[in-house]
Amino acid sequence: MKTKGWLTKVKKIDWGILIFTAILVTFGLSIIYSIGLHGEKTDLSVFYKQLAAVGIGVAILMGALFFDYRFLQPLSWIACILGLLLLASVLLFGITIRGTTGWLNLGFTTVQPVELAKVFLIVTLAAWLTKCGGSLERWQNLVISALIVFAYTGLVLLQPDLGSAMVFVGVWVMSLFVTRTPNLYRIGIIVLSIIFAVSSWFFLSGFQKDRIRVFLDPGADPLGIGYNVTQSIISVGSGRWFGRGLGLGPQSQLNFLPEQETDFIFAVIAEEMGLIGASVLLLSFGLLWFMIWRRARKTSDLFGMYVLTLGLFQFFIQTFVNIGMNMGISPVTGIPLPFISSGGSSMIASLLLVGLFEGIALRNSEKS
């Protein structure tokens, strides 16, 4: 009987989400390994760190899978406070890298709390939307959701981290289209978001302002502040159809391309694997998004549905912005490419979300 019950649970796991997550993680590890082969001396230290992060992330995924996510709904206020405390701790005790105070030094490693804060915000916002019955028709419900999001956004802008602020606000704005929200509210929020985006200029460091100037004028100072984007665009184009081969990309191998493992990892993929490899990556992302969306539509529990949907929005925004900045169609904001970019905090948080998705699939029957 126990064996039969275990097999029944295994069948309820959404294998589509797991399979495409595994494909993307493998894709990321492969390209980070390739980057480690560059130069006169092989250096696989970043690869081993990422591999360790994947191991920790998989363990957390398994724990989240067998944890009953429904306990999170009444405790969402704790998740909200924890997320805010994490972001506040960075401002008090964080270290600054490239003009952003976004990391905590634990001695043996550094962590980026904003990645975990993204998960806390999704849980908090999903719980509030559920409490509202999926309706933001009352302006009070809309205002409270806005206050939650902008509390998080304000703290990351103080770092300043424009990329994470874009993710927070973007997820909230997109949530208005999966709830019963009057069109007048939606239009007003979009207008206010544009005003907010413009006014956030005054919170940015000089380094981040330079990034936006390059986005608005790609030809400005190609050997100075525009160097990164210029080299990224060259890398993307040089891969052609089939790429130069793993470890053989001249832009990345000769270190012309900066931030290869993080911000501009998609450019390395395009250079070494070509249009075919980049297309396979994009197809894998697209299929993962479809699997998550399909699971959300099949989920009978409103809280679970919102966790899936908001998590999907987060993955979509981060993927769109990261690939866009590699191609010069969005400003460079330091947003990691989910499951691909090097960064233990991002990988662990992303796999935690996938674990929550699988836990939701495990405990929900399909809609008839």
pLDDT given for residue 224 in this prediction: 55
Angle, alpha carbons 335-57-355 (nearest 5°): 95
Q: What is the mean pLDDT of residues 305-309?
A: 96
Mean pLDDT score, 265-275: 85
Confidence category of residue 255, pLDDT binned at 50, 70, 90: low
pLDDT in tens, 73-129: 999 999 999 999 999 999 998 888 777 788 888 888 889 999 999 999 999 999 999
Higher-pLDDT residue of 8, 209: 209
Mean per-residue pLDDT, 178-190: 90
Element (H, E) at 111: strand 110-111
pTM for the full predicted model: 0.89
Average per-residue pLDDT for the chain: 84
Please list the alpha-helical segments (H only) found in 132-182: 139-157, 162-175
Q: Look at residue 367 in the predicted model and tell me its pLDDT.
A: 46
The pLDDT of residue 226 is 60
- Is 229:332 a contact under the CB 8 Å cutoff? yes
Nearest to 324 by CA among 167, 215, 250: 215
pLDDT: which is higher, 213 or 101: 101
Q: Say how many residues make up the chain.
A: 368
